[in-house]
Amino acid sequence: MNNSPLNQSPSHSPLPETIHRFSFTGTGGGYFPIWLTNLALTVITLGIYGAWAKVRKERYFHEHTHLNGSSFEYTANPISILKGRLIVFGIFIIFAVTQTIPFVNIFVLLLLFIAAPKIVTQAIKFRARYTNYRNIPFRFSGTYGRTFIYFFLLRIPAVLTLGLLFPWVKHAERKYLVDNLGYGKTNFSFGASVKTFYKCYLSAAVFLLLPLTIFILRSLVATFFDVEKLPGTIENGLTPQSGSTILELISGSVGAIALVASFFVVFSVGIPLVKVLLARATWSNTSIGSFKVTYNLTFWSYVGVLVTNILLLIVTLGLAAPFCMVRLFKYKIDRLSISGPTSIDEFVNARETELRAFGDEAADVYDLDIDFGL
Amino acid sequence: MRARALYFNGETSRREDVELEFAPDNSITLLKNSGSRHWPIGTYHFDLPIGKSAIRIRGPEGSLVEAPYASELYEALRSISTKQEKVVSALEERWPAALGLFGLAVLVCACLYLYGLPIASRTIKPFIPFKLKQFVGEQVLTLYEKAGIGQSQLSEIQKAQFMKAASDLTTAAAFPFEIEITTREWKLHGTEIENAFALLPEKIVVSDALVNHLSIDETQAIVAHEIGHLYYDHGTEHLIRSSLVSILSIALFGGDPGTVQAVAFAMLDAKYSQSHETEADLYATALLKKINKRPQLLGEALKKITADSPEYMHEKYFSSHPLTSERKKRLETE
């Protein structure tokens, strides 16, 4: 697109690389009164202040994130967020009212399905466009059609293949998201392979498939053994009663408890593990022009932060929420860095006409909490 | 006053070290290596920093100045910021102020809970068309039918007895519209359910198991209680209230209420539901007296139905009905 040194591949550069680390200087104590004020004003104004609260929250987190001596900026207008929320609210009301009316509910559902990619695309554009660093905004050049394909249509083969294609779909989705992000004129580039994504899911498979394994085991025991009549054998060290007891336990209460526990394992270990592995695979294989991103997230330390946060929330009945949010955000940001042969000073802003060429037309009213997979 | 700052022209990410001078007339002068720039008040804009973050000032030509937090510069900008920003930043900077505001928010929630929702639902209630209520009632009955409510299996004699008892009540109640009272077989996972319920706006359904278990007088007392729900139009009130709570929930939490909110809403719903049950109990005692029946029949019927299920204290706060022991005690004094 342009011949700036920032758009050259990192591997071709002969210059020594400089590492620039991100850092977060926010504190739980600093954010607590902001969180409390946001919550209180949102309640008092019956939710209207929520849009302003969102901006203040985002501003706190952005403005305390530093890179190479400058901090990030969140410049969204609360009125735009309020408009976006009113649109979503209106859609919800229409959906709720028409839910019991035959045919009309199908029609509304169809309209929602058609509108969803637009809402998602605009939400990503909105978030990117109102995030600034050094007075240059980020941008997202995705389109309705491509969002429809990557975020919605590709889910169909993933379901039809019982999830076997899911890592491929997730890879395509992340590639679409990252490749269409930009900072000024400079494009992001996604370099992770599909194989890496399959490896992420395979590493977590032992945890994710635990409920299915236990379910199959229980069903097999219940189907193929008549647990009430089955004797234990002396050879395998079981008394005549104990053999049947073990099988009874597997198909009975112990099996049921194990099944519930396995879901806990999925949610507390399996899903965070996938999240960590995917985030690392995505961002550590991303480059911004000639800068390479590194994301040194490790699973056990991440789970450690998550688990202690949950305990803190339980003990304080939710009042520790701002401290937990800051802690998790700081943990993530402090592990992020970029390295490259050029100075951060060399990025160039895109002009309005160029932004239109990127497909980054005004994204003024949509705002959803879109996860960039960090 | 002067402060060191970084200047970004908005065209590249290049930073330039500058000195920022804030004059008593609130104008800003930037002293750069390449010359100076003067921004009179009204030509630049800024948002007060949050949580002692860097101070940012946007210039007239799309440029940005970023200065490390300094209390003197902050106070200078604060003095010319909008009233709204001054108030919000004052709250955010002081824990006691933020806690006080939070206390006020709790008070607002309590007022909404105790007065706002009942007043709103009673105000809106008369405007709900009868046909809409009928539609909702039919939809709910269809759901119940899918969940295992079938045709009544009572004998013709039982049915006749029941209808006579019900008719005595409806005549005494003298509603401006006809109340439709039916008996239905109600099974859940093969177990017969002993229950009765009122549906918007004129339907009452009594389960066969309830008729079989109770005497005809006791069954009549239960039906009188359900007529009480129709008399006060509790169903419509419940419908409006839950809609308002849903709307409020979406407005406050973006449609994703967490566990704490879910528990709070369950308690809120239980509180109103219990007060409706008490209201219906009192109506039933009055109606029973009107047809020369003992009002204590209702308490006796409730005791019979719940004989096999133990009472737990948490039900007092989370159940849709008050504790049977408390209801019986109250009904005995009527």
Q: Which residue of B has its CA nearest to A135?
A: B10
Q: By the 8 A CB rule, do A286 and A189 touch? A: yes
Please report the pLDDT score of residue A214 as a whole number. Answer: 82
Candidates A104, A135, A325, A344, partner chain B, best to mutate (most B CBs within 10 A): A135
Q: How far is it, in rounded angstroms, from Cα B119 to Cα B135?
A: 24
Q: How far is it, in rounded angstroms, from Cα A361 to Cα A351?
A: 12
Mapping DSSP onto H, E and C, the string for A276-341 reads HHHHHHHHCCEEECCEEEEECCCHHHHHHHHHHHHHHHHHCCCCCHHHHHHHHHHHHHCCEEEEEC
A189 — pLDDT class (breaks 50, 70, 90): very high
Beta strands B203-207 and B196-199 are antiparallel
CATH 2.30.29 maps onto chain B at 2-93
Give me the residues of B, 212-251, that contact A with CB < 8 A.
246-248, 250-251
Chain B contact for A332 (CB, 8 A cutoff): no
Q: How far is it, in rounded angstroms, from Cα A326 to Cα A38?
A: 15
- HSE (side-chain half, CA atoms, 13 Å) at B153: 10
Looking at the DSSP bridge assignments, the partners of residue A286 are A190
Please report the pLDDT score of residue A250 as a whole number. Answer: 62
Q: How far is it, in rounded angstroms, from Cα B301 to Cα B324?
A: 10
Look at residue A93 and tell me whether its pLDDT is greater than 60.
yes
Mean pLDDT (chain A) is 81
- Which of A39, A48, A133 is facing B102, going by the closest CB pair? A39
CA nearest to A361, candidates A114, A109, A125, A67: A125
Residues of B in contact with A73 (CB under 8 A): 56
Paired tokens of A121 = 């695309």
Chain B contact for A329 (CB, 8 A cutoff): no
What is the DSSP annotation of A37-96?
HHHHHHHHTTTTTHHHHHHHHHHHHHHTEEETTEEEEE---HHHHHHHHHHHHHHHHHHH
Cis preceding-peptide flag for B310 (omega within 30 of 0): no
Least confident range from A73-77, A110-114, A361-365, B224-228: namely A361-365
Q: Which residue has the higher pLDDT, A218 or B91?
A: B91
CATH architecture of B2-93: Roll (2.30)
Q: By the 8 A CB rule, do A134 and A347 touch? A: yes
- Which of A64, A69, A92 is facing B250, going by the closest CB pair? A92
Q: How far is it, in rounded angstroms, from Cα B170 to Cα B159?
A: 16
A41–B13 C-beta distance less than 8 A? no
**Largest Cα–Cα separation, chain A:** 83
Q: By the 8 A CB rule, do B7 and B15 touch? A: yes
Shortest Cα–Cα distance, B30 to chain A (Å):
17
User: Tokens 């209420």, residue?
Assistant: B257
B178 — pLDDT class (breaks 50, 70, 90): confident
- Which of A30, A70, A73 is facing B51, going by the closest CB pair? A30
B246–A47 C-beta distance less than 8 A? no
Paired tokens of B321 = 């009905």
Please report the pLDDT score of residue A252 as a whole number. Answer: 64
Paired tokens of A51 = 């849009």
Report ipTM for this prediction: 0.76
Backbone φ and ψ for B51, nearest 5 degrees, come out as 60, 45
- Which of B49, B135, B252 is facing A63, going by the closest CB pair? B49
Look at residue A362 and tell me whether its pLDDT is greater than 50.
no
Q: How far is it, in rounded angstroms, from Cα A60 to Cα A25?
A: 10
Please report the pLDDT score of residue B257 as a whole number. Answer: 44
> For A267-325, how does the pLDDT look when each residue is reduced to its tens digit (9 = 90+)?
777 888 888 889 999 999 999 999 999 998 888 888 888 888 888 888 888 888 899 99
Paired tokens of A291 = 């800068």
Please report the pLDDT score of residue B190 as a whole number. Answer: 73
> For B240-284, how does the pLDDT look when each residue is reduced to its tens digit (9 = 90+)?
887 787 777 666 665 444 444 555 556 556 666 778 888 888 999
A347–B13 C-beta distance less than 8 A? yes
- Which of A30, A37, A318 is facing B101, going by the closest CB pair? A37
Tell me the H-state helices in chain B. 71-78, 83-93, 95-111, 117-124, 130-146, 156-173, 208-213, 216-232, 234-253, 259-290, 296-305, 315-318, 324-332
Chain A contact for B60 (CB, 8 A cutoff): no
Mean pLDDT value of segment A49-53: 91
| Cut 0.95: pTM above it | no
A359 — pLDDT class (breaks 50, 70, 90): very low
Give me the residues of A, 166-225, that contact B with CB < 8 A.
184
B139–A135 C-beta distance less than 8 A? no
User: Tokens 């299915």, residue?
Assistant: A212
Q: How far is it, in rounded angstroms, from Cα A11 to Cα A84?
A: 42
Cis preceding-peptide flag for B60 (omega within 30 of 0): no
CA nearest to A315, candidates A307, A304, A327: A307
Look at residue A207 and tell me whether its pLDDT is greater than 60.
yes
Q: Which residue of B has its CA nearest to A348?
A: B12
> For B18-32, how does the pLDDT look when each residue is reduced to its tens digit (9 = 90+)?
999 999 999 999 998
Paired tokens of A55 = 């901006």
Please report the pLDDT score of residue B256 as a whole number. Answer: 47
Please report the pLDDT score of residue B314 as a whole number. Answer: 47
Paired tokens of A247 = 């099988």
Least confident range from A204-213, A326-335, B288-297: namely A204-213
Give me the residues of A, 45-74, that contact B with CB < 8 A.
46-48, 50, 52, 56, 59-60, 63-64, 69-71, 73
